[in-house]
A and B are shown apart, each in its own frame.
Chain A
Amino acid sequence: MKRFLGFVKKEFYHIIRDYRTLVILIGIPVAQILIFGFVVSNEIRNTKISILDNSHDEITKKITNKIISSGYFDLHSYLNSYDDIETAFRKGNIKEVIIFESGFSSRLTREGEASIRIIADASDANTGRLITNYTQGIIMNFLKDLVPPGIEIPFTIDSRPRMYFNQDLKGVYMFVPGTMAMILILICALMTSISITRENELGTMEALLVSPLKPVHIILGKVTPYVLLSFIDGLIILLLGYFVFGLPFHGSLALLLSEMTLYVILSLSLGIFISTVAQSQPVAMIMSMLMLMLPTLLLSGFIFPIENMPLLLQGLSMIMPARWFIIILKNIMLMGTGILFVWKETLILLGMTLFFMILSIKRFKVRLE
């Protein structure tokens, strides 16, 4: 018994004295619960909408106020014509457009029937549906408030929701871009970081550095097979999405492939950076998982909408390369936009790539010392 207790005591010492174990035991569950709690939400909050009010009368104003003061929606802008709608969506600032037909109040009071059109950006299928449901619910409540309780509502407001970019609310529209973003960053970063640290561990990196091979050649040589593999992977995902799941492809293939290449290079730079920080292969693996895969899964907008997260997590999601890549993918594939609409995101990816490349080269050189 004493022997056993002695052993247990030793194990406790191990755990307490290795701060990494403590992090895993306590830190990670806490972080997980907090993050999941805040990220996983099926509610909507402060969704930006635009309103095309063809009536500008008392009732439309009342309905508008009710919608805006609900806490679920924020008024982004008033649109002036139907032509503005498509542009408004493509810019990506709003998730819904509410259109009041002209002569709304008079039609409602005289004929007892008027119509409101609701158009939602359904490139994120789940939120698309939620948004229209909430909107319709608010309109319903407005009607109820017009009459004393118990009396049948003599009016009907015909609100027909239309899902923009994703008529049938197909989940695959969200799923394929997100999967592609995640797989690419995973392959590239994980594989390059492991490959380089493995070389360090084996002692072969030294032999390479003594040889006439320049460090730049070594890195490029390590990275090239993964560029090719990732590219092929990306293409496979696209083809499967297109042929098997009917994913639309409205935009330019050349632009898409260029953006994919940029994203791949960014992921590879991340992998190289991790390899300059990680001491061994297992560390490289865990760093890649924790720093890349998990946050990408949770914070990139792949599964859980970013707009619903608390500000801190929204800020955090800004440094996720996948977030920007998913926006670019959705824009090009679902909305068919060109570089004019995605230049901001492209620039961000470019900036991140340069940042990590320069940082990695610097660290690699220091490592040599």
Chain B
Amino acid sequence: MPAVEDIIIVRDMVKKFGKFTANDHLTFSVRKGEIFGFLGANGAGKTTALRILCGLSYPTSGEIKIAGYNVYKDREKIKKTIGYMSQKFSLYENLTIAENIKFYAGIYGLRRKVIDARTSELLDKLGISSIRNRLIRDIPLGWKQKLAFSVAVFHNPSIVFLDEPTGGVDPITRRQFWEMINESAEQGITVFVTTHYMDEAEYCHRVSIMVDGRIAALDTPGKLKESFNSKDMNGVFLTLARSKRMNAV
């Protein structure tokens, strides 16, 4: 029985590419305001699932509800209530910081005054007000990453989808990034994040681990470590991956 606060409900989601099954009957729910980690190795099917939830592709079959909307019928409504940050950060290199913000905010229907006010607020918070007119290609990777996230949540979506957002940045920057995620979650935004860095799982409320297209485990990090008798999430994953391989053999 789905709880009232479930903002993402997925039941028996299947995605096939020809004969290859990328997502094999996934079933899970994400609660409102939680940070949900969608973990798995490269090629496990995380990005495929995320793309379906975002409305970038259609599932082969399955029941999916995002913020109460049906993913088959109410795509337009879903698009207005979600935010997205791609692996490549989705910012335009030859636009300035301010121009990027204005562009995306405009697409989500924010009014000019609101955009201006929020932009100033955001830039102050990130400490980059002085370079608001600098081109994106001229700012360091870590700043780009934080900015990309801020842009993704600028319009206060109910859910934000992050696709491997911490690739290529140093551990300190990653840590700071997760602090931003925490902040957003505290303000009520549900965060759905895919990653293959197992240590980031510790920062999530709950995580699911995908192996070969299926969800092999789903629980809080603490409980997972307990049941797999491991001191960290890395260990949990290795155990899962090994058992799968042994079953296959």
Contact = CB atoms under 8 A, between A and B. Distances in A.
B87 interface: yes
Interface string A196-213: 000000111011111111
Contacts of A203: 86-90
Interface in B105-148: 107-109
Contacts, number: 49
A368 interface: yes
A221 to B, nearest CB: 10
Contact of B79 (A202, A206, A212, A369): A212
Interface string B49-92: 00000111110000000000000000010011010111111111
A207 B108 contact: no
B86 A213 contact: no
B80 A212 contact: yes
A75 B91 CA distance: 65
A212 B108 CA distance: 7
B57 A206 contact: no
Interface residues of A, number: 13
B228 interface: no
B104 A211 contact: yes
Contacts of A212: 76, 79-80, 107-109
B158 to A, nearest CB: 14
Contacts of B86: 203-204, 206-207
Interface in A292-319: none
A204 B79 contact: no
Contacts of B57: 368-369
A109 to B, nearest CB: 81
Contacts of B92: 202, 204
Contacts of A202: 88, 90, 92-93
A163 to B, nearest CB: 52
Given A203-B88, A203-B90, A211 B56 contact: no
11 contacts: A203-B89, A210-B55, A211-B79, A211-B104, A211-B108, A212-B76, A212-B79, A212-B107, A213-B107, A368-B56, A369-B57
**A-B CB proximity, top 3 nearest:** A203-B88, A207-B90, A210-B84
Given A207-B104, A368-B56, 15 more contacts: A203-B86, A203-B88, A204-B90, A204-B92, A206-B84, A206-B90, A207-B84, A208-B107, A209-B56, A210-B56, A212-B76, A212-B80, A212-B108, A213-B107, A369-B57
